[in-house]
Amino acid sequence: MLKLLKLFKLFIWNSKMDISRSMEYRFDFILGTVIGLAFSSIGPILQYLIFTQTKGFPGWNLEQIILFQGILLFTSGIKGMIFGSLPYFVTGIVRKGDFDRLLLKPYSPIGIILASGFRLNNIGPLLSGAFIMVYYIVKMNLHIGIVQIAIFILAIVFGLILFMGYEVLYSSIVIKLVQIGRLDELMNSLLRFGEFPINIFSKTLQTALITVIPFAVWVNIPANALLNRLDYTIPITFVFCALFFYVSLKIWNQFLKKYTSAGG
């Protein structure tokens, strides 16, 4: 517990450093945030265009799908702010050989890696997502009770646990393969399965998305919670998120044992 607290302090310290770095190139940061806001509008615009010019897809109307997009932006913003720098950080230290120094520190190396991901630049999607979400909750006159709020918050927390597991897997692959470009692109493309309502996929894939690869936790469950579409699969998905994180840590430990440093 004490170690976790210290890692949290390290995360706060790293976050302050990132904010200072962002302020070094202030113009670039402000412009980057504005662009982040603009870029995050693409998803809702895309869905708006699809839904206004077709009947859309089953089970969702225009307002519901924009709310879905708002939640997608919000959760992506949280993930991006807490872990956005992680892929660059871990790739950089492994390639330069600096990862070896992490092994000498009194904390778990994966703990240090997970505490080094803060990225202020991702505040754009977080803000725009929060705005869209609140706006559509009010516009749709959704009745949200304690249960819905609790499930929404739990989905965010378990979503972060799942994402940590995903980042641990990414880091494991990086220390194993060392020099492979665009790995983050490959990993991000897999994450896209979680960015659509799961009912567009086949039954088998739907089952997978709430169990073994529980990506439904990021957007589908929070959206269904707000739309009051709760079902028995939600706790199952939460359990699988924790399991995913546990398994990814096991994989990390296995890969770490075989780590031979960038020099071979």
Nearest CB to other proteins, comparing residues 4 and 49: 49
- Considering only CA atoms, which of 148, 106, 118 is closest in space to residue 18? 118
Smallest separation (angstroms) from other proteins to the CB of 214: 17
| Shortest separation between residue 46's beta carbon and other proteins, angstroms | 5
Q: What is the DSSP letter of 219?
A: T
Count CB atoms within 10 A of the CB of residue 198: 20
Whichever of 32 and 70 has its CB closer to other proteins, that residue is 32
Close Cβ partners of 137 (under 8 Å, ≥ 6 residues apart): 67, 144, 226
Minimum CB distance to other proteins smaller for 73 or for 156:
73
Q: Which is nearer to other proteins, 130 or 183 (CB)?
A: 183
Q: At what angle do helices 86-96 and 183-191 cross, to 10 degrees?
A: 150
As measured in angstroms, the least distance from the Cβ of 163 to other proteins is 18
Report the nearest approach of other proteins to the CB of residue 250 (Å). 24
Whether the CB-CB separation of 222 and 156 falls below 8 Å is answered with yes
The residue type of 96 is K
Smallest separation, CB 191 to other proteins (Å): 10
- Is 192 or 258 the residue whose CB approaches other proteins more closely? 192
φ/ψ region of 107 (left if φ > 0, alpha if ψ in -120 to 50, else beta) reads: beta
Residues found near other proteins in the complex (CB under 8 A): 25, 27-29, 31-32, 35-36, 38-39, 42, 45-46, 49-50, 53-58, 180-183, 185-186, 189-190, 192-193, 196, 199-202, 205
Q: Which of 161, 164, 158 is nearest to 217 (CA)?
A: 158
Query: Is 131 or 196 the residue whose CB approaches other proteins more closely?
Result: 196
Instruction: Using the minimum distance from each CB to other proteins, give the nearer residue, 192 or 257.
Output: 192
Query: 205 CB contacts (<8 Å, ≥6 apart)?
Result: 193, 198
Q: How far is the CB of 171 from other proteins (least distance, A)?
A: 18
Least distance in angstroms from the C-beta of 42 to other proteins: 6
What number of H helices and E strands is found in the chain? 13, 0
- Measure the CA–CA gap between 134 and 118, rounded to whole angstroms: 25
Closest CA to 136 of 62, 83, 198: 62
